Amino acid sequence: MNKEILILSGSPKKDGNTATLVDWFAEGARSKGARVEIVRTAFLKYKSSGCTSCRACQKLAGYECVINDEARPVLAKMAKVDVIVMATPLYFFGASAQLKRVFDRMFSLYKWDNKAGTMQTPLKGKTLVLMASAFEDVGLDALSKPFALTAKYTGMKFASLLVPNAGVSGDIKNKPGMRRKAMELGKKVAQAQRK
């Protein structure tokens, strides 16, 4: 059965370094039969600036966000696919706000019972991939930490492609071997065994 991969691209640029990495990764994954959907989070229509901490999602039987906007179906897809890819440029040692907006609303995909000390999520066993690029060679370790910790906490496999010294928007296309690395990661993720 072919893998279902959802890519959340967090760049406001449609042809920059992040978009290029996403396209290369998707090309590699599709070459191995994966079904890939790319969502450009900067262009979704939102009703809030992020998770509002209303906790209404914790009262629902299912895993969904109660804020009815274009992020809501994206979050629902995250619960169903095999692989979630988050791609972002480095902005002040972190992910872009355009990606963080959806990342924070993943809260709705978890159910906590604080009294029992338990957590349930449909994300367990999936793969989380982070792809990120930086103009220079500083900050990618800080950016990757929340994603790696989220994967560990959630019981997800984690993989990343962090590209230092990627240059300004579009320069990554001239970085030797980068297309091959992104495509290889896409192929590897598409072929990985399910748990």
Instruction: Tell me the per-residue pLDDT of 147-183, one tens digit each, with 9 for 90 and over.
Output: 999 999 999 999 999 988 677 777 878 888 888 999 9
What's the CA gap between 186 and 180, in Å, rounded? Answer: 10
pTM (2 d.p.): 0.90
Give per-residue pLDDT as tens, 94-139. 899 899 998 999 999 999 888 888 889 999 999 999 999 888 888 8
Q: Tell me the helix, strand and coil percentages in the chain, rounded to 5.
A: 40, 20, 40
Length of the chain: 195
- Band of pLDDT at residue 37, cut at 50, 70 and 90: very high
Q: What is the DSSP string of 30-80?
A: HHTT-EEEEEEGGGS--SSSS-----GGGGSSSS--SS-STHHHHHHHHTT
Question: At the top level of CATH, which class does the domain 4-191 belong to?
Answer: alpha beta
